[in-house]
Amino acid sequence: MILRPRLKFLPDGRQGEGLLPYVIAVMVYLCGMALFAGFSIQSGINNWSNGLVSRVSIQIEATDKVVREQETIAALKMLQATPGIKSAQVIADSEVMKLISPWLGDISLMADLPMPSLIDVELSNPGSINSDALKVRLKDIAPHAEVDDHQTWMSDVLSLASTLRTVALIMVLMVILCTIAIVVFGCRTGLATHKKSVELMHLMGAEDSTIAREFHRTFMMHGLKGGIIGTLLAVLTLYILSNIMENIGEGLLTSFNPDASIIIMLCLLPLFSMGLAMITASLTVRRALLKLV
Amino acid sequence: MLKFENVGMRYGTGDEVLRDLNFHLEAGSFHFLTGPSGAGKTSLLKLLYLAHKPSRGLINFSGKDIATQSHRDLPKIRRRIGIVFQDFRLFEHMTAFENVALPLKIHGATDAQIKDHVEELLAWVGLKDRINARPSTLSGGEQQRVAIARALINKPDLLLADEPTGNIDPEMGRKIMHLFVELNKLGTTTVLATHDQEFVKSMGASVLMLERGRIMQLPGHTPRDPQKKKWGR
């Protein structure tokens, strides 16, 4: 269809839509950023959850140091003997203090503060143990033990991530709908500008597809041009943000580095905008031509 | 070849601008379509070149009822009709050659066929030396001849011309009229719309006269004596 010889009944580059490629570029830029945000959230949450679903933390919260140590040893032995647990180790007091120092400040001044014992458990596979059964067994041998399998707060974080992904998807859909509307308006402007030429072609016996092809070729190029500009701007923005984030810290922010799937997706954006503009223009012109006898 | 039966036409929901049209144009005949301004000549031409559908009645073109033709089938019928507009309607960004070649391209002709036919026809209308000229550099008469060549390039069964001499000087007008007569000799059914009654009388051809949307004079039998009436068939 695209390779058929053109009739060129429309003068090149004079269809009254001069700024259209740049408007499409803005839309593609917004679409790229929203997609990137959605993918990054997904990627970040995956990184988190993959690390956490295979781990369980156990706190022994007895205030009496002797009791705490006895329960810790008993719990450690039981955990190491439990099938489905790859490893279990007590976290040193100094490490525990480091973990809580951001909240309590200089803990060297509070040496007598009773600190809970922490046991870090690595599972063989995610879900390889029954948390509830483990809690019951631990309570028998270490009454002050509390099991944290991260499920409660993980489910809140996953719920938040899911909401953010949905918001990003809605943004992408809105940008696509805006792009379609822009192309429809541009196409109608082109049709109005060249009404006499279109009517003449129609009266000379040109089929709707032949007339529509002249328009959708033009809009296809606008879509491609806008797509390339918008994608380049999005890549530039992500590059700058990535550099800034690298200097800020780790954790969730590390997911700001675009992975291969995001880069491929961004590279496909110009083709997507080209196809979207072409199909929208073709349908708009054909629909308008149907109104002619 | 072309038959109108009880045809009426209106624009939108307005009153009928054409009423109760009944006539038959034989293949290869030549007719003038006349009437005062506002009589409905342009509206009738729109029906003839299938730019508008009748609000009632039957239009039969070469055995096909136009009203029952699908949107997809109409382009094939339109390719059998050549139209010359009063304002020429040439594409300004195209040369004379490209303008005339357009109907052939729509038809799917090869580049070689297009070159041969277009050059031959432009030479026939006296524009051999103006093949690569754009409309803006052509005189009114030359533009009209390009428009005529474009209307004829597909060898249409029906040739329609709306005030073909309206925008050119009288001498060129006579030349153009004689060009239509010559074309009619080749077998093309020809209908020329004009309000120039004197000119019509001087030519003595069949006349379809409209007044306030009704036919006041039916197209008559086209004279056949080639010595007296050149357009006879």
pLDDT of residue B232: 35
B216 touching chain A per CB within 8 A: no
- Write down the H helix ranges in B14-130: 41-48, 74-78, 96-107, 111-124
pLDDT at B228 over 50: no
**What are the tens digits of pLDDT across the range B163-188?**
887 777 777 777 778 878 888 888 88
- The verdict on a CB contact (< 8 Å) between B71 and A208 is yes
Q: Rg of chain B over CA atoms, in angstroms?
A: 17
Written as six digits, the tokens of A48 are: 């988190």
Helix (H) or strand (E) holding B19: strand B16-25
Confidence band, pLDDT 50/70/90 cuts, at residue B231: very low
Chain B residues touching A213 at Cβ < 8 A: none
Looking at chain A, the whole-number percentage of residues with pLDDT higher than 70 is: 90
Note the pLDDT of residue A262: 80
CA distance A20 to A18: 6
Instruction: Name which of A9, A11, A207 is nearest B75 (Cβ-Cβ).
Output: A207
What does the pLDDT look like over B19-77, one tens digit per residue? 999 999 998 899 999 888 888 898 999 999 999 989 999 999 988 898 888 888 999 99
Edge-to-edge, what's the strand order for the sheet holding B16-25? B16-25, B2-10, B56-61, B64-65
> Is A5 in CB contact (< 8 Å) with chain B?
yes
Name the A residues in 109-128 with CB < 8 Å from any B CB. none
CB pairs under 8 A between A and B: 53
Task: Give the Cβ contact number of residue A83 at 10 Å.
Answer: 7
Contact A11, A219 (CB under 8 A): no
What is the pLDDT, as a whole number, of residue B101?
96
Minimum CA–CA partner of A199 in chain B: B51
d(CA B74, CA B187): 23
Mean pLDDT score, A145-172: 84
For chain B, positions 125-164, list CB contacts with chain A under 8 A: 154
Rounded Cα distance between A213 and A279, Å, is 10
Tokens of B187: 């077998």
CB contact under 8 A, A205 and B71: no
Contact B14, B206 (CB under 8 A): no
Is a pLDDT exceeding 70 seen at residue B138? yes
Partner-chain contact A203 B49, CB within 8 Å: yes
Around Cβ B166, how many Cβ atoms within 10 Å? 17
- Residue A1's pLDDT band (boundaries 50, 70, 90)? very low
Task: Enumerate residues 210 to 229 of chain A having a beta carbon within 8 A of any beta carbon in chain B.
Answer: 210
Q: What percent of chain B has pLDDT over 70?
A: 94
Angle at B27 between CA B23 and CA B32, to 5 degrees: 55
CB contact under 8 A, B79 and A290: no
Give mean pLDDT, residues A75-81. Answer: 88
| B contact residues 58-97, partner A, Cβ 8 Å cutoff | 71-72, 74-79, 83, 89, 91-94
**Residue B71: which of A199, A201, A290 has the nearest Cβ?**
A290
8 Å CB contact of B83 and A203: yes
DSSP E strands, chain A: 55-60, 85-91, 117-123, 145-148
Q: What is the pLDDT of residues A197-249, one digit of tens each?
A: 999 999 999 999 999 998 888 899 999 999 999 999 998 998 888 888 777 76
Tokens of A221: 């190029």
CB B22 within 8 A of CB B214: no
> Which residues fall within 8 angstroms of residue A169, CB to CB, at 6 or more apart?
A38
Q: Is residue A281 over pLDDT 60?
A: yes
In this prediction, residue A258 has a pLDDT band, given cuts at 50, 70 and 90, of low
Q: Which residues contact A12 (CB under 8 A, 6 or more apart)?
A: B93
Indicate the average pLDDT of chain B. Answer: 86
pTM over 0.80: no
* DSSP summary character for residue A1: -
